[in-house]
Amino acid sequence: MDNNDLEKYSETVLDTISKNVIKYRTEKGYSQMKLALEIGMSGGAYLGRAELRKDNHHFNIKHLSKISKVLDVDICEFFKNID
């Protein structure tokens, strides 16, 4: 695998995580703001950008671990269906 392939794969992983965060957040009835506040953010802007992958924003493992606990979803679920 060359670096370009690895870059594409990592972007696919980040996109999948974002889609799954949206999926579980909405299933649990959380707004972006409510979830952001629950995980210790001061507002929903970063979380919104990470969900949309705007300007290459993304969730880090610390975000995912907190979101996993708040939404009561196994952290592995955020990585499912990666192509």
Which CATH number does the domain housing residue 12 bear? 1.10.260.40
If you write DSSP's letter for every residue of 43-60 in order, what string do you get?
Answer: SSHHHHHHHHTGGG----
Taking the model in full, what pTM does it have? 0.92
Burial class (CB in 10 A: 0-12, 13-18, 19+), 4: exposed
Mean pLDDT of the chain: 94
pLDDT recorded at residue 83: 57
Sequence-ordered list of residues with C-beta below 8 angstroms from that of 76, at least 6 positions apart, any chain: none
Range of the domain at 13: 3-79
Amino acid at position 6, single letter: L
Number of domains in the chain: 1
Beta-carbon neighbour count of residue 48 at 10 Å? 14
